[in-house]
Amino acid sequence: MGRVLIGIIVLLGLAGVAVAAGGVKGQPAAGTVVRDRLRDGTPGPELVVIPAGSFRMGAIHGGGDPDEKPVHKVTIPRPFAMGRYEITFAEYDRFCQATGREKPKDGRRWFPFSNWGRDRRPVMNVTWNDAVAYTRWLSEQTGQRYRLPSESEWEYAARGGIEEPNWWGFSVGENRANCKGCGSTWDNKKTAPVGSFGANPFGLYDTAGNVWEWCQDTWHESYESAPSDGKAWEGGEDKRRVQRGGSFGSKPRYIRSSARGRGNPDGRYVYLGLRVLREL
C-alpha cells in the first residue's frame, strides 16, 4: 500500500492542512530517511521524504508582519526530500575541499578568536551564491537533482502539517529551539549542534532558530500575486533572496513558521546557513 498513491487523506494539525498518505510508485514513502552516496562512496546529507499536499501559507492566526500576508492556499503537487538537518560544517567543508573554495569561518568573521566549532554545527557565513553552488555540486556528485527549497516548500515542510505559529504550538515554550529567549544553553550566544532539539511532525530538525536558511525565491514585500503551486517566486526589481527560520539571535516572533527574512545574495553572516531539497 505504501508504494501506490491511494485515495486517503490524512489531516494533520488544524483544518486546512491536507497531506496525501502513502507514496508514489517507485518512490520512497513519506517520512523515509534518504541518503545519497557521493562519488567517493561517502554519504551525503540526510534527507526526509515530505509528502505532497496543500496548506495555508502566511500569518494564519493574525499578527505577524505585513510581508506574511495575505494568507493563501498553496498546493505542493509532488513529494520531495528535504534536508533532515541544516547543512553542517562537516558537509560543507567536504565541498570546499573538493572544489578549492575557501572554507567559511565558524564564528564572527571580524573577531580572530571567535570560533564556535565545526563538525555538527550548522554551516554559516555562506552567501546565497555559495548555497546554490553547494546544491549543484551535490547534484553532480549524486546524479540527483538538488536545489534550495522554494519559500512555500520551506514553510510547508517547516510547519509539518501544523497551522499554529510554531510547529509545537502557540507559545515559544522552553528549550524547543535556539533563539533569543527560547531557554536553551545557546540562546543569543552561538549556534547549537544540529539536532539538539526535537523534530517537527515531518521529521525535520531546527526549522525554528539556530541559523536562518536561504531559499530560492527573490524577495517580495507581500504575497499579493504569489504562486500557489509551490514553485519559487523569482523575478521583479528586488534582487534580495528570501531567508527563513530565524536564528540563535532572533526573538521568538522571528522563529515562527511564517516569519520571513531577506538578504543580498552575496551577503554572508554568522546567523545564516542553508538546508537542501532533493527532487523525487
Report how far apart, in Å, the C-alpha atoms of 198 and of each of 110, 167, 209 are: 33, 11, 12
User: What's the CA gap between 86 and 99, in Å, rounded?
Assistant: 21
Q: What are the domain boundaries of the chain?
A: 1-280
Residues 6+ apart with CB under 8 A from 110: none
Residues 6+ apart with CB under 8 A from 62: none
Radius of gyration of the chain measured on its C-alpha atoms? 18
Q: For 221-240, what is the mean pLDDT?
A: 97
- Burial readout 109-126 (b: 16 or more C-beta within 10 A, e: otherwise): eeeeeeebebeebbbbbb
pLDDT of res. 113: 63
Q: Supply the mean pLDDT for the chain.
A: 92
- CATH fold label, 1-280: paralog of FGE (formylglycine-generating enzyme) (3.90.1580)
C-alpha torsion angle, residues 16, 14, 217, 63 (rounded to 10): 110
pLDDT of res. 173: 83
Lowest mean pLDDT of 12-16, 32-36, 45-49, 122-126, name the range.
Answer: 12-16
Cell 486546512 sits on residue: 16
Find the helix or strand (DSSP H, E) in which 19 lies.
Answer: strand 18-20
> pLDDT by residue (tens digit) across 84-96?
999 999 999 999 9
Q: For 44-55, what is the mean pLDDT?
A: 99
Cell numbers placing 186: 545557546
> pLDDT by residue (tens digit) across 180-213?
999 999 999 999 999 999 999 999 999 999 999 9
pLDDT of res. 26: 77
pLDDT of res. 277: 99
> pLDDT by residue (tens digit) across 145-194?
999 999 999 999 999 999 999 999 999 988 999 999 999 999 999 999 99
- 197, 172 in Cβ contact below 8 A? no
- 153, 277 in Cβ contact below 8 A? yes
